[in-house]
């Protein structure tokens, strides 16, 4: 299995700093004014993707100084899921944050020239050997810098994927747009190798791919 050395080194260097702050994750559905939920139909996937890549529900909850991120799939995620085509390299379960609708950073983890409206991304990934959770701050790309990769705590319980994002990492915003994605990655990140499988909301309608928080 090919390793992504740069990403793994970044992950391991930062992991020690997070070891004392990992928070427990729960699979309950809280009732809160600081919660935003999106529902997606079963079976609307590309690439004949399996149920564990078929999004049925996404959620972001603001709790204290963190955002609790949840995604429910149509089927459970095993401890060793297959990498279906075209996921030759890894699978991503992702939360996309559009923090500023006027900006569209180019580049990582997408191809260098690709403009994508999400300034911030949180992923739980599976590369055939291990699961990892990390955030990508793409805002430095707007001024010629490099995207910042930071590990985040995560858990997988049956068909539910959860991650915890410290709100300070995205500047403690009171509102933003967001959506959830299931993605296949066929090669290294940053090379145009990301293949959409499912998204919620869909990329059709008045606000393609995003809903407001809260």
Pick from 72, 73, 70: nearest CA to 30: 70
Q: How far separated are the first and last CA of the chain, in Å rounded?
A: 41
Q: How many CB atoms lie within 10 A of CB 185?
A: 23
Please give the angle made by the CA atoms of 147, 153 and 157, to the nearest 5 degrees.
Answer: 125
d(CA 121, CA 95): 6
The pLDDT value recorded for residue 33 is 59
**Residues 98 and 177 sit within 8 Å (Cβ to Cβ):** yes
pTM of the shown model: 0.83
The pLDDT value recorded for residue 203 is 80
Could you give phi then psi for residue 180, rounded to 5 degrees?
Answer: -115, 150
The pLDDT value recorded for residue 205 is 64
d(CA 103, CA 159): 34
**Residues 178 and 37 sit within 8 Å (Cβ to Cβ):** no
Element at 91 (helix H, strand E): strand 90-98
Pick from 30, 32, 50: nearest CA to 42: 50
Q: Where are the domains of the chain?
A: 5-17+35-213
The pLDDT tens digits of the residues spanning 61-99 come to 999 999 999 999 999 999 999 999 999 999 999 999 999
Please give the angle made by the CA atoms of 43, 87 and 212, to the nearest 5 degrees.
Answer: 55
d(CA 51, CA 75): 5
Pick from 141, 214, 203: nearest CA to 176: 214
CA distances, 27 to each of 162, 183, 184, 202 (Å) = 8, 22, 25, 24
Element at 10 (helix H, strand E): helix 5-18
The pLDDT value recorded for residue 161 is 98
Q: How many CB atoms lie within 10 A of CB 160?
A: 18
**Residues 109 and 190 sit within 8 Å (Cβ to Cβ):** yes
Q: How many CB atoms lie within 10 A of CB 25?
A: 18
Q: What pLDDT tens digit does each residue of the chain (214 aa) get? A: 333 333 333 334 343 333 333 333 333 334 455 999 999 999 999 889 999 999 999 999 999 999 999 999 999 999 999 999 999 999 999 999 999 999 999 999 999 999 999 999 999 999 999 999 999 999 999 999 999 999 999 999 999 999 999 999 999 999 999 999 999 999 989 888 999 999 999 887 666 899 999 9
């Amino acid at each position: 299995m090919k390793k992504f050395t740069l990403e793994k080194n970044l992950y391991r260097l930062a992991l020690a700093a997070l070891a004392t702050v990992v928070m427990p994750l729960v699979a309950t559905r809280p009732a809160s004014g600081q919660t935003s939920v999106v529902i997606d139909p079963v079976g609307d996937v590309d690439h004949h993707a399996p149920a564990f890549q078929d999004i049925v529900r996404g959620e972001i909850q603001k709790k204290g100084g963190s955002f609790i991120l949840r995604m429910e799939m149509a089927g459970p995620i095993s401890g060793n899921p297959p990498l279906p085509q075209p996921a030759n390299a890894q699978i991503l379960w992702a939360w996309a944050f559009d923090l500023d609708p006027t900006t569209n950073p180019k580049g990582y983890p997408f191809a260098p020239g690709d403009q994508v409206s999400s300034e911030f991304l949180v992923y739980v990934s599976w590369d055939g050997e291990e699961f990892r959770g990390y955030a990508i701050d793409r805002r430095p790309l707007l001024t010629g810098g490099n995207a910042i990769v930071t590990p985040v705590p995560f858990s997988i319980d049956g068909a539910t994927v959860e991650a915890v994002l410290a709100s300070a990492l995205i500047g403690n915003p009171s509102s933003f747009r967001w959506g959830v994605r299931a993605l296949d990655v066929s090669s290294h990140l940053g090379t145009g190798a990301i293949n959409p499988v499912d998204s919620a909301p869909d990329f059709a309608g008045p606000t393609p791919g995003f809903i407001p928080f809260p």
